[in-house]
Structure 1
Amino acid sequence: MREKLGKISNFLVSLAAGIASFVFTLVAVLVVTDFNEKLAASLIMGLFALLIVWVASEQPNSSQARAVSALIKRLLAVGSGDLTSPTPAAVRREMPALAAAVDNLFEQVRSNLDNVHAIALYDPVTSLPNRVHFKREADRVLKARGWDDGVALLFIDLDGFKEVNDSLGHAQGDQVLTMVANRLRIVVKAETREDSLAPPLLARLAGDEFTLLFPRVREPAEAERIAQSALVALCEPFEVGEQTIDMGASIGVALSPRHGTDLAALMKAADIAMYHAKESGRSQASMFHARMAAAFEEKVQTEKALREALGRSEFELAYQPQLDARSGVVVAGEALIRWNHPYDGLRLPDSFIGIAEESSLIVDIGDWVIDGVAATAARWHARGMAQRLTFNVSPKQIERADFFDRLRAAVERHQAPLRMLELEITETLVMKCGDRVIAELAALRAEGLSIAIDDFGSGYSNLARLKDMPLDRVKLDRSLTADVDRSEGALAIVTAVIHLIHGVGCEVVGEGVERREQLDLLRAVGCDVVQGFAFSEALAETEFLDWVRDNAPLRLLPRSA
């Protein structure tokens, strides 16, 4: 109907224009007689005709106008979130090319939004929901649960995944994460209950952290059983290419409403339980308990106090003598950190180093130790002393790309002779350190620095690895030396280890010597250097210097025949 009215309107406009042109021309012919006036009249009639043509050409096509109006309304609907309605039929009929272009545009926009949605809510490596998606869905589950419905949250942290990434590379590390996700999917499928109002949630939160949320789990025993199923699945070896990887996982378990009614409280409880599982030996699951929260809070407070301690100069170094096992001469002093806590008094390393290791604080504390050791070595050198000064470094320190530059800078700053310094690294670090670290250690050793392995025998050892390392000494862990005078088996093991270490060209240092009988037997089986409370505890620098002066060589421990 509208189309017919539009055609009638165009016809009437054209008819009116024709009648007006005819009347104007007739009047001009009858009235105008002069040539100039006729010329002017002709010009006016021409302009009038042009005006009539322009009006006719500008008269809108009503069908197209309605189509454009419909398209405008459709585009404005996007502001309300409508990206799915089709292009109006009027546009398809009157402007098919424009309609096709609009359809393609909306299809591309929808595709882009789908991609953004996937990136925002899903992990690109495992295709699992990410932290944002998990939080949204978990909040919904917790709010929808009945008053007697329980919810179990499992917080999973892979054990040893960082080593996998470091040794195999991130590409194969991503493959392992995908395999972990697939194993957890199997666990979720096996534990899904038909009567559950919502399916279990599985997500990758970040890095090597995963989480599982199971609705309608009422009893701790049921949650622990599910956690054990996940643990068994993740402790199976992973086959990546030609590599077989053993990792395992530490799992923290929390229940709602017992351990929290909202997601934040539940996540905190599960996180605390997970750290308890790690500290208890890894590859195990722990159910949250209130006493864990107290221990965690103490840990948080200790970490905060450690940060403040660095700024307040609350740390100091103490030095424990190392003696030649045969002559009794003091050949070195081990620098050990002490913390003058403002409320607790003097705190030994065992009470805070583990917490520092779990954070970046160990790097800053380690830098402080290195600077203090370099300054001490310079002072000892100025006094004409020749004793070595040994100090420990954390794996987190030595793994930093700038560690060796920072060590050299401290030595140069204090003008300390490298030959007076001995760097102690852990047995675990020796087993896994890369070629770059070995090359840097070798370069320092060539310049005079000594290298020692600390606590040998407390972890996984590979004697074949020792012969390839730039080493001077190996320190036997006190667990090896503790019973050498009380157990023939312990003595036999220590004797064999000492001979093997001598075989790769290193000296042996016996730690934890507390009795004369230990000293006599260690000396008899070839131990080169001894250290322990049988001689002296760790001393302040002035006390150490006095002790060295008064006990050189040590006369309290007679040489064995």
Structure 2
Amino acid sequence: MHQSSLESRAAMFALGAGAVTFFLALIATSSVTWSSGDYGRALMPAIVCAALSWASARVRVADTASAIDQAVDRLAAAADGDLATPVPAATAMVVPRLATAMTSLFAQLAANFARVHQLALFDPVTGLANRANFRDSTEAVLAGMEEGAGAALFFIDLDRFKAVNDSRGHASGDQLLMKVAERLRTVAEEAGCAGALVGRLAGDEFTIFCPGMADHDAVQALGDAVIDALAQPFALTDGPVMIGASIGVALRPDHGTTLHDLMRAADAAMYQAKEEGRARMTRYSERLAAELSGREVLDQELRIALDRGEFALVFQPQVAAGGGGLVAAEALLRWRHPSGELRSAGEFLARAEANGQMVAIGDWIATAVAAAAAAWERDGRPGRIALNLSQRQLEDDGFFARLEAILHQAGTPATRIELEVGEAIAMRCSPLAVAALARLRAAGATVTIDDFGAGDSNLQRLRHWPVDRVKLDRTLVGEVVHDRVAREIVQALIGLIHGLGCEAVAEGVEAEAQAAMLRVLGCDAIQGWAIARPMDAGALAAWIDRDQPAVARRTTPA
């Protein structure tokens, strides 16, 4: 309703109400008989009273309308983002309840916006800049820097954080991350790096960007300070814990002028620090640049290798140490590289693990092994085919279900399959993976621990593992002929393996003398170039048909 209309109606109401009220009151309180002239004379004061009421009401309505108009204007300003300006004084005085509601609304909106801003820009656990905020802030600083101006980017990855998080729970893990953030802030402040930006990218990955830091000694000092700070014990609610950190450093302008280039370089340097033993800082270098370039090329080639059918399997026989009969053949992956080389798995599988392609490659290997084992079953050939399992496969919740489906589809009996797991991987294997291995073993598959003696075995854990055979690491086998201590170690390990109720297998046997010594020491099976080199399926079939009698004669004790 318009203000003029509101005022007119209020005035009319005031005039009528005032006159009637005054007039009626006068009549009601009088005992005199009134004539028409008397009524006229009495009505005049009523009219005056009504006029005064009209004027008063008109002022009050005008004040209220003005106060409401100012409130509307203030709300419009709030809609445009102004939540700080106070509610107009006129509104507070004339319509106090409305003013109080508006003030409360603005305060609540301001708090909500502050919370949203905090969540959008800062990590909720540590309070550090999150990935997006760190990226935007750092890119803005880099964009404003003069050409040739120096800066340092530190990429920090915590060592052993996952073990703490898994063993103590996420609450302790979050508490540890908060304390790490506090120490990083302190180190950055004490380094005297003006404008330093500290962020948490994800998980246990942190960054420090120091604009203006060009001196190599200052870079080294800050890196050493971070390593020292994070190597000290952390007091958590459920007890102290010690971790550490591996750091990669990239410098502007030497290693790039954009955040993308600097992050790429610092990340590569950090991984190099981990490979060199952790708890250290590594700077990006030309050597690392060449390795990074090589990794990118390798990643691209691996992505299309499966589609192009460039992978193949070869098989290395394993024979009984006593009778010389074929026990199994280990399936080994090869890559027919477009350059014409036949590359061994050691040249590319670690990269496939790192870039996530191992899942697809592992499924291809499992399918090829199942097909080969099914062919052996149809042809009535002896022995099993051994399939090596990677850490990525054992961590993949769906791998064993896919493996069982692959075996079923190929018509491969489980008795034709041997599953090999490296010692180091076996000791970290999840209960779910162990249960899946036990299920396959119960169905007839053979389970083998590979590379035994090269890592840190937990014998108590090994006792309860679903295992049939244990393969001695090739580093233990190489010196058994000429080194007495090596012989004693191998003999002791073979006794331990037998004590666990398992067969002892030696791999990497390169000479007849080694094979003879391993038989004397009690080894059950032998694998290596002394028996046969890896070969494709056709060559292996021919070798079994042609050479098995000779193998049996050579490996039978005199």
Q: TM-score range by the shorter chain?
A: 0.7 to 0.9
1:135–1:263 contact (8 Å) kept in structure 2 = yes
Aligned to 2:179: 179
User: Bigger shift: 521-530 or 482-491?
Assistant: 482-491
Aligned to 2:77: 77
Q: Aligned partners of 1:556 and 1:222: how far apart in 2? A: 70
Aligned to 2:113: 113
State how 1:135-174 maps to structure 2 within 5 Å: 135-145=135-145, 149-174=149-174
CA displacement at 1:87 relative to structure 2? 0.6
Q: Aligned partners of 1:555 and 1:249: how far apart in 2? A: 54
Aligned to 2:24: none
Change (3 A) 1:297 1:147: closer
1:386 partnered with 2:382: yes
CA displacement at 1:261 relative to structure 2? 1.9
State which of 436, 451, 471 in structure 1 corresponds to 2:447.
451
Change (3 A) 1:458 1:244: farther
Question: Normalization by structure 1: what TM-score?
Answer: 0.85
Q: Aligned partners of 2:235 and 2:330: how far apart in 1? A: 43
Spell out structure 1 runs of 4+ moving beyond 4 A. Answer: 6-19, 56-60, 143-149, 236-247, 558-561
1:538 partnered with 2:534: yes
Q: Aligned partners of 2:247 and 2:230: how far apart in 1? A: 11
CA displacement at 1:455 relative to structure 2? 1.4
CA displacement at 1:141 relative to structure 2? 3.4
SS in 2 for 1:311: coil
Aligned CA RMSD, in angstroms, stands at 3.0
CA displacement at 1:559 relative to structure 2? 4.5
SS in 1 for 2:292: helix
Aligned to 1:404: 400
User: Bigger shift: 394-403 or 60-69?
Assistant: 60-69
Q: Aligned partners of 1:366 and 1:58: how far apart in 2? A: 88
Change (3 A) 1:313 1:201: same
The code of the aligned residue for 2:368 comes to: G
CA displacement at 1:97 relative to structure 2? 0.2
The Cα offsets for residues 275-303 of structure 1, whole Å up to 9 and x where unpaired, read as: 22233343332100123122112212212
Aligned to 1:91: 91
State which of 361, 365, 369 in structure 2 corresponds to 1:365.
361
The aligned length equals: 519
Change (3 A) 1:167 1:428: farther
The code of the aligned residue for 1:293 comes to: A
Q: Aligned partners of 1:219 and 1:490: how far apart in 2? A: 51
Aligned to 1:131: 131
Q: Aligned partners of 2:171 and 2:67: how far apart in 1? A: 54
SS in 1 for 2:306: helix
CA displacement at 1:205 relative to structure 2? 0.4
State which of 199, 206, 210 in structure 1 corresponds to 2:206.
210
Q: Aligned partners of 1:544 and 1:238: how far apart in 2? A: 57
State how 1:539-554 maps to structure 2 within 5 Å: 539-553=535-549, 554=551
Change (3 A) 1:176 1:396: farther
Q: Aligned partners of 1:312 and 1:236: how far apart in 2? A: 51
The code of the aligned residue for 1:417 comes to: P
Change (3 A) 1:471 1:243: farther
The code of the aligned residue for 2:96 comes to: P
The Cα offsets for residues 473-501 of structure 1, whole Å up to 9 and x where unpaired, read as: 11112222222223323222222222212
Change (3 A) 1:12 1:447: closer
CA displacement at 1:96 relative to structure 2? 0.4
The Cα offsets for residues 485-535 of structure 1, whole Å up to 9 and x where unpaired, read as: 233232222222222122111111112111222222222212211111222
Q: Aligned partners of 1:189 and 1:498: how far apart in 2? A: 58
The Cα offsets for residues 84-111 of structure 1, whole Å up to 9 and x where unpaired, read as: 1011111101110000000000000000
User: Bigger shift: 133-142 or 404-413?
Assistant: 133-142
1:224–1:253 contact (8 Å) kept in structure 2 = no
2:450–2:471 contact (8 Å) kept in structure 1 = yes
CA displacement at 1:318 relative to structure 2? 0.7
Q: Aligned partners of 1:440 and 1:520: how far apart in 2? A: 37
State which of 322, 326, 336 in structure 1 corresponds to 2:322.
326
Q: Aligned partners of 1:434 and 1:309: how far apart in 2? A: 31
Q: Aligned partners of 1:208 and 1:460: how far apart in 2? A: 26
The code of the aligned residue for 2:135 comes to: K
State which of 247, 263, 287 in structure 2 corresponds to 1:251.
247
Question: Normalization by structure 2: what TM-score?
Answer: 0.86
The code of the aligned residue for 2:436 comes to: E
Q: Aligned partners of 2:502 and 2:366: how far apart in 1? A: 24
CA displacement at 1:236 relative to structure 2? 4.4
2:299–2:352 contact (8 Å) kept in structure 1 = yes
Q: Aligned partners of 1:505 and 1:105: how far apart in 2? A: 75
Aligned to 2:271: 275
State which of 217, 226, 248 in structure 2 corresponds to 1:230.
226
Q: Aligned partners of 1:352 and 1:171: how far apart in 2? A: 38
Percent identical residues = 43
1:131–1:205 contact (8 Å) kept in structure 2 = yes
Aligned to 1:496: 492
Q: Aligned partners of 2:182 and 2:489: how far apart in 1? A: 45
